[in-house]
């Protein structure tokens, strides 16, 4: 069997034969916990993830870290900054660190992240920490594939309206105010607690109404608060299990993943190069406004269905 790193690379490239290997790994897995850490740029997420990883390692857990950089959708490159900040962890055989770039296609990022989790899970990793930058739909999709989502903010950037605007309050299972030694940190904690106490947030599934989102203060650079954050994450997981809400969450994770993969398969049909000429003609018709995009799309879909029928 290939190494975890090789496995993740294969999954990212979608090489032939990877699917079968991933299927085997998936069926053998299901043990690892997936924790998402998200927030704006400059909130110190990478440092926080490193601090959290150290706490988990001290407890004897193995840790996977997926740092997702929203870099070039085309080059697929990723910057090593986050890895450098974790240099003390890179020599530890109980820690696996991987940077992933956005894939540049609909749902590609969450697909790659989910496959990486499958590989890490099968390799016996206990906890996977997925770090995402920003708050786009990509990130929301990635976070939907986590058991617990930690939203990070800092004093100065993180006033209530900003948090609301970013849509982050609604996806948080745990809130973390990092750089809590900066002025204004107490105010941010107080504001967040107040916002969170206003009542059940609209996006929580009904079976998760019983969870009260905690607000944890950290100074990640000094490791301060990392224990408390790890505890809050544990508490959330224990609550998921005790309340039975974990079943709904794992079901939602499966639904999102199946739907995403099904879309990719259908997208491959759409992009079937054997039908290049027909597609080009549709595009030209739209460019010259002879037909509208939806009519073109309907034509394309009808062709996919027809083609599928011929093949089957």
Which 22-51 positions form the footprint of a second copy (CB under 8 A)?
22-24, 26-30, 40-42
Q: Which is nearer to a second copy, 165 or 193 (CB)?
A: 165
Nearest CA to 218 out of 233, 204, 206, 203 is that of 233
CB of 70 to a second copy, least distance (A): 5
* Side-chain half-sphere exposure of 176, counting CA atoms within 13 A: 33
> Of residues 16, 60, 74, 91, which one binds a second copy by CB under 8 A?
74
Stretch that binds a second copy, among 123-131, 146-154, 218-226, 293-301 (CB under 8 A): 293-301
CB of 192 to a second copy, least distance (A): 17
- Please, which of residues 229-288 interact with a second copy by CB under 8 A? 247, 250-251, 254-255, 257-267, 270-271, 282-284, 286-287
Distance between CA atoms of 116 and 10, rounded to whole angstroms? 10
CB of 193 to a second copy, least distance (A): 20
Q: Which is nearer to a second copy, 50 or 296 (CB)?
A: 296
CB of 111 to a second copy, least distance (A): 9
Rg (C-alpha) for the chain, rounded Å, is: 21
Backbone angles phi, psi at 63, to 5 degrees: -130, 135
Q: Which is nearer to a second copy, 81 or 210 (CB)?
A: 81
Nearest CA to 240 out of 175, 148, 309, 116 is that of 148
Nearest CA to 98 out of 68, 134, 61, 53 is that of 68
Distance between CA atoms of 97 and 82, rounded to whole angstroms? 10
Q: Which is nearer to a second copy, 228 or 246 (CB)?
A: 246
CB of 85 to a second copy, least distance (A): 13
What x/- string results for residues 103 through 132 when contact with a second copy is judged by CB under 8 A?
-x-xxxx----x------------------
> Of residues 3, 15, 200, 295, which one binds a second copy by CB under 8 A?
295
- Using alpha carbons, list the distances in angstroms from residue 216 to 48, 71, 179, 180, 272: 12, 29, 11, 10, 50
Chain centroid, CA 48 distance in Å:
16
CB of 290 to a second copy, least distance (A): 7
Backbone angles phi, psi at 131, to 5 degrees: -100, 125
Burial of 207 (0-12, 13-18, 19+ CB in 10 A): middle
> Of residues 3, 15, 72, 222, which one binds a second copy by CB under 8 A?
72
CB of 71 to a second copy, least distance (A): 5
Burial pattern 93-124, b for ≥16 Cβ within 10 A else e, equals ebbbbbbbbbbeeebbbbbbbbbbbbbbbbbe
> Of residues 69, 173, 191, 208, which one binds a second copy by CB under 8 A?
69
Q: Which is nearer to a second copy, 128 or 230 (CB)?
A: 128
Q: Which is nearer to a second copy, 228 or 261 (CB)?
A: 261
Our finding on whether 202 is near a second copy (CB under 8 A) is yes
CB of 45 to a second copy, least distance (A): 12
Task: Retrieve residue 248's tokens.
Answer: 């709904």
Task: Retrieve residue 51's tokens.
Answer: 């601090």
What x/- string results for residues 141 through 170 when contact with a second copy is judged by CB under 8 A?
----------------x---xx-xxxx--x
């Amino acid at each position: 069997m290939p190494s975890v790193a090789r496995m993740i690379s294969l999954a990212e490239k979608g090489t032939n034969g990877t699917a079968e290997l991933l299927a085997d790994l998936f069926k053998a897995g299901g043990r690892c916990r997936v924790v998402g850490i998200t927030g704006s740029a400059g909130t110190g997420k990478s440092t926080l993830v490193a601090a959290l990883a150290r706490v988990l390692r001290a407890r004897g857990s193995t840790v996977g870290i997926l740092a997702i950089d929203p870099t070039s959708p085309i080059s697929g490159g990723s910057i090593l900054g986050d890895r450098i900040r974790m240099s003390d962890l890179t020599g530890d055989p109980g820690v696996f660190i991987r940077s992933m770039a956005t894939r540049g296609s609909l749902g590609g990022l969450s697909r790659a992240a989910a496959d990486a989790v499958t590989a890490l899970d099968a390799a016996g990793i206990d906890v996977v920490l997925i770090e995402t930058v920003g708050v786009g739909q990509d990130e929301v999709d990635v976070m939907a594939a986590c058991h617990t989502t930690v939203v990070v903010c800092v004093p100065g950037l993180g006033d209530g309206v900003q948090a609301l605007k970013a849509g982050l309050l609604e996806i948080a299972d745990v809130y973390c105010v990092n750089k809590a030694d900066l002025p204004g940190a107490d105010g941010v904690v107080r504001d967040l607690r107040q916002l969170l106490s206003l009542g059940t947030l609209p996006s929580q599934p009904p079976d998760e109404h019983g969870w009260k989102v905690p607000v944890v203060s950290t100074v990640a650079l000094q490791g301060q608060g990392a224990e408390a954050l790890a505890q809050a994450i544990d508490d959330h997981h224990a609550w998921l299990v005790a309340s039975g809400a974990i079943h709904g969450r794992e079901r939602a994770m499966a639904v999102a993943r199946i739907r995403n993969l099904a879309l990719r398969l259908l997208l491959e049909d759409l992009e079937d190069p054997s039908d290049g000429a027909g597609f080009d003609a549709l595009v030209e018709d739209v460019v010259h406004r002879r037909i509208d995009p939806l009519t073109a799309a309907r034509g394309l879909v009808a062709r996919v269905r027809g083609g599928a029928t011929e093949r089957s």
